[in-house]
Amino acid sequence: MIRILPALAVIGLVATTPSVGAPSLSLRNSFRIGNGGVLCTAQSKPLTPNLKSMFDRGYSIVCRDAATPVGQINVMRKGIDDPVARVAKNRDAGIACEAPAPAQVEGLPGATVAACVEKESGLAYQSWTWSDSKTTYVVDGLAGYESALKLALRTAAADAPVKGDVEVATTSAGDPAAFARAQAGTLDSESALAEAYSRNNDGSYAEAAEFFQALVERDASGTETNARTAEYLANQALQESNQKNFAAAETLFARASTPAALGDPITGRLLRNFYAIHQLNEGKVDKAIAELDKPVVSVKAVGTADAALAGGQITPAVADRINRDNQSLSQMGGSVDASLQPFERAAILDAQALQLQGVAYRIKNDFPKARAKFQDSIAAMASVREGKLNSTGWLRSSIQSEQALMAEKEGKIGEAQAMFEDALKTVEIGHPQTAIALAAKARFAGFLARHSQGDRALTMFAEVVKDGQNVPGALTSTRNLLSPYFALLAQRAPNDPTAVDAMFQASQVMLRPGIAQTQALLARELSGGDDEAASLFRQTVALTREIARTTGDIARMTSTPNPDEKDALLAAQKRLARYERDQTALQSQLNKYPRYRVLAPETMSVAELQKSLRPGEAYFKVTMVQQDVYGMFVTPDAAKAYKVPATTKQLEDAVAKIRDSVVKIENGQMATYPFDIRLARRLYLALLGPVDAQIHATKNFIYEPDGPLLQLPANLLPTEQAGVDAYTARLKGKNADEYDFRGIAWLGRDHDVSTVVSPRSFADGRTTAPSHAKMAYLGLGENAKPGDNPFFVPPPALNDDCAWPVDNWNNPISSSELYLAANIIGTDKSALITEGQFSDTTIEGKSDLNDYRVIHFATHGLVTAPKPSCPARPALLTSFGGGMSDGLLSFKEIFDLKLDADVVVLSACDTAGMATVGATREAGVTTGGNFALDGLVRAFVGAGARTVIASHWPVPDDYNATKRLISGLFTAPPGTAIATAMRDAQIGLMDDADTSHPYYWSAFAIVGDGERPMLPADAQPAQQVTTAPAAGAPASASR
């Protein structure tokens, strides 16, 4: 993505020659505490009563997964009074501290620590202190974050980064964006704006968007007076564009482009440049050039200094700015006013516009015009403060990279290499250990890979992958730049096991469905059992989701301010503050338990995965890198990686055609065509041809699909050509049945097949303890028909323009399969909820759902939108309950359920589909949402399901197909693996001419560990359920 102008070009660039070495931390608004473990940062907090002189500094300590600051750093010059007493005086009156005691802190002899406690809650705090000859350092914070507090003290005293691990509890429920929201909340608007631009310039677009969102909310709610709303909105818009959310970007740009904003010389230029970048992101090159050619309001070349400073006055506001901008003071050698004047800011923005035009012409291969624009841009930068602007280093680096691309295309390889190297050096000096620096390294490595320097390229790419996992937002910026890395590894993989392992690990940093994070979170929760620690963990995660939901509500209300919602907005802000305070307190208490202070790495090696595999098992992972596709096949004693001979687009087309031959909606009706067996066979050969022999030697196929392959079950791929040829020959005969697919060697015929979403979640699932539920089975389904009730009054929810028509409730799924399963398992271990009791309100109010090992829904799944103009909100259809019931169990409501289930069976329509990002955010889940499996499957995993059986298309009741599959699951002997029980039932349908088409047997996917038993090995013989299905229950309904 194209990067935007840095912060200080808008609020005052620093005119200086870049300093040698890393700048002192006192010159920065934000810095990291330690270099390992849980991510914690210090955020500048210049206005606190603890800071009295212009040399004093204050910071809030913010840690990943904690919703509010966990501590404060006070750096205070001696001489005015006793700094320690000053901090004690200003400490919250509810916190009582003991006398300080000597403490061991590396490198700080004479340090002390005081144990403190919040009287009302009993929550433990600490106060760490150390002094040198001029300065006293006091770090206060929650005792659960002791390692962060000690590292913060050492870092502040050193005024430089200090190595060390922050060993505190983490739930992994948050994400970089949530952490950015917490950081933004600690800063005043000026500092938050600077940090927002800084994160953008570092390439952390999602984090930058959160900072700008926080600024918009403050402006709308009136908590701070600001005249920069247009600037905030324009930046929000560009962050959305950088993340390819183009529709959202257009909406925000429209809100920002008011007449007043366009008439301002600075804001108008920002909007011009940002909108041009947005058009470049969309590939609209000519429109971007035209946008940059539009006239803007001129600005007078004036240079008056701050009036108060000119008069020798230091007002509180000026003192605040001095505290915040002491970086500028230091670098300018003591000059007080280091900010650029409006005409200089305009000149920098115009220089960026010229650079952007150069980019556009380079994309159009008009190199003479591109070079001319780049030279004009460089000259424009040089005209401001003699070109000594270290904040424009990234712009110079960008121009160098663009010139390198042109030189490469012209065959000037040596010249291009020198330019790429210079560009990398420039950005690493100005933005070390950032997403943008890693992206520059990946671009240079890609150049080396293209020009026979594979060894050096591999080393650099490996560094990008490794370092990117520790730099927030880095992987988002670099994933699309890793294509040459995968190509190099694929070339070397046949003879180099380390290349196989490197590809396997690199593939794990690519974007995955959100369900992967949800499964990891569930495994972390279940690892704790039922003790106090596990309870604290669950409460912390629940509050984290409530914070995300409330944050979303506030964002909605501030995006389009409505006077009628003013009270609701204030209530939401108060609620959010309470949630954040409580969540941070719980997070601190969680630090008492070492098992939650262990960070599981995101990636795992081939050797680590092999330890989780059993004899006869194979793990097959597909990764798509732009249009290139790669396969990785791992068994307990071997591994292979290769490039798949098909593009992402070709696989997308193949999946769509195969699905259409299974079931297709035409004129509102489902139609099934002869299965495209030949295309399915070609897909098998493309994906698994290189490991065909190994496939036939395994029995359990663990499948991690990517992209469009997430929408297709692997069990319907033919593993042998003979059956396909026999089918083709049989069609030439008289009265041949083209729907008869008996004799095909399907992958799912000889293999247990299960679907997973990451190696880590699979390995964690293998070690997750089974359910502790007391009851074996809960069946839910067959909603009450409104048409049978003459007194039915549609609830208010059905009056919404985007509500489903009530007719959807008049064709319920039969509960016969539920009764069948309950009969098999036994009345003493089962329960059924059907008819009127099967309502959303009943299910949400049922407090004992975690008492059931297997939960089985037989109902309609609504996974699309009722009309094109409406958002899709995945849900299961239920009966209408009382109150505000809408007759739907939504994604959010499912996520809120409290389950302890080994298996959830969703015998409903297309339940393996995706959710929308909007529906995901409504549930308080801030990641994923736009992948298959991120819909209802993810919601049930979030509620506590270890394994989910879901369908890829509407499951049929013709020929009792679904009933036969479900009965096969429950009639298998106790201890039988879920995947084995499913396969045995599917074979029965495969061998029946009426049901041999994959439409009847292939729909269900087992998401999770398919080797988990459906019924425990020690399950007792069933006692028959005496209750029968209601008379007249429908025998068949499309789900």
Residues 589 and 644 both lie in one domain: no
pLDDT attached to residue 596:
75
Per the domain annotation, does 124 fall within a domain? yes
Residues 129 and 265 both lie in one domain: no
Residues 811 and 707 both lie in one domain: no
pLDDT tens digits, 752-803: 999 998 998 899 888 888 999 999 999 999 999 998 888 888 888 888 888 8
Q: How far apart are CA 959 and CA 337, in angstroms?
A: 83
Residue 946: pLDDT band (50, 70, 90) is very high
Who wins on pLDDT, 718 or 22?
718
pLDDT attached to residue 5:
38
Residue 708 DSSP symbol: G
State which H helix or E strand residue 233 sits in. Answer: helix 229-242
Q: For residue 1025, is pLDDT > 60?
A: no
The first and second tokens of residue 468, run together, are 């990117």
818 in Cβ contact with 780 (< 8 Å):
yes
Identify the CA nearest to 431 among candidates 480, 397, 468, 403. Answer: 397
Q: How far apart are CA 332 and CA 334, in angstroms?
A: 6
Q: How far apart are CA 685 and CA 689, in angstroms?
A: 4
pLDDT attached to residue 474:
72
pLDDT attached to residue 312:
44
pLDDT tens digits, 133-168: 999 999 999 999 999 999 999 999 999 999 998 988
Residues 579 and 625 both lie in one domain: no
Q: Is 248 exposed, middle or buried (0-12, 13-18, 19+ CB in 10 A)?
A: middle
- SS3 string of 533-597? HHHHHHHHHHHHHHHHHHHHHHHHHHHCCCHHHHHHHHHHHHHHHHHHHHHHHHHHHHCCCHHHH
Q: How far apart are CA 36 and CA 168, in angstroms?
A: 11
Residues 422 and 548 both lie in one domain: no
pLDDT tens digits, 224-241: 444 578 888 888 888 788
Per the domain annotation, does 707 fall within a domain? yes
Residues 718 and 773 both lie in one domain: no
Residue 1013 DSSP symbol: B
Who wins on pLDDT, 760 or 496?
496
Per the domain annotation, does 185 fall within a domain? no
Residues 740 and 702 both lie in one domain: yes
Percent residues over pLDDT 70 in the chain: 84
**Adjacent-strand bridge partners of 71:** 61, 141
* CA–centroid distance for 796 within its chain: 34
Residues 375 and 279 both lie in one domain: yes
The first and second tokens of residue 414, run together, are 């040596």
Residues 1001 and 967 both lie in one domain: yes
Evaluated on CA atoms 953, 959, 963, 968, the torsion sign reads negative
Residues 750 and 804 both lie in one domain: no
Evaluated on CA atoms 769, 775, 779, 780, the torsion sign reads negative
Q: Which of 414, 432, 450 is the last residue of a domain?
A: 432
Q: Which of 720, 755, 790 is the last residue of a domain?
A: 755
Q: How far apart are CA 787 and CA 792, in angstroms?
A: 8
Identify the CA nearest to 516 among candidates 700, 687, 764, 711. Answer: 764
pLDDT attached to residue 618:
98
Residue 178: pLDDT band (50, 70, 90) is low
**pLDDT, mean over the chain:** 84
Number of neighbouring beta carbons within 10 Å of residue 736: 12
Tally of structural domains, the chain: 5
Q: How far apart are CA 275 and CA 4, in angstroms?
A: 11
Identify the CA nearest to 105 among candidates 67, 139, 59. Answer: 139
Mean pLDDT, rounded, for 830-836:
95
Structural domain harbouring 749: 614-755
Per the domain annotation, does 277 fall within a domain? yes
Per the domain annotation, does 1022 fall within a domain? no
* CA–centroid distance for 777 within its chain: 34
Who wins on pLDDT, 299 or 937?
937
At what angle are helices 205-221 and 176-185 packed, to 10 degrees?
A: 40
Q: Which of 546, 563, 597 is the last residue of a domain?
A: 597
Residue 220: pLDDT band (50, 70, 90) is low
Q: What are phi and psi of 15, to 5 degrees?
A: -95, 105
Residues 673 and 741 both lie in one domain: yes
pLDDT attached to residue 915:
67
Residue 20: pLDDT band (50, 70, 90) is very low
pLDDT attached to residue 566:
86
913 in Cβ contact with 932 (< 8 Å):
yes
pLDDT attached to residue 482:
94
- Is the entire prediction scored with pTM above 0.95? no
Q: What does each C-alpha distance from 203 to 429, 438, 472, 670, 700 come to in angstroms?
A: 15, 9, 9, 46, 42
338 in Cβ contact with 325 (< 8 Å):
yes
Q: Is 575 exposed, middle or buried (0-12, 13-18, 19+ CB in 10 A)?
A: middle
3-state secondary structure of 516: helix
pLDDT tens digits, 810-828: 999 889 889 989 998 988 8
Q: What does each C-alpha distance from 1017 to 777, 852, 996 come to in angstroms?
A: 15, 17, 31
Per the domain annotation, does 212 fall within a domain? no
Q: For residue 929, is pLDDT > 90?
A: no
Q: Are strands 124-131 and 112-118 parallel, antiparallel or unpaired?
A: antiparallel
Q: What does each C-alpha distance from 308 to 11, 46, 315 come to in angstroms?
A: 18, 20, 7
Residues 161 and 239 both lie in one domain: no
Residue 222: pLDDT band (50, 70, 90) is low
pLDDT attached to residue 314:
40
For position 776, which CATH number holds? 3.40.50.1460
Per the domain annotation, does 1014 fall within a domain? no
For position 257, which CATH number holds? 1.25.40
Q: How far apart are CA 929 and CA 514, in angstroms?
A: 6
Per the domain annotation, does 689 fall within a domain? yes
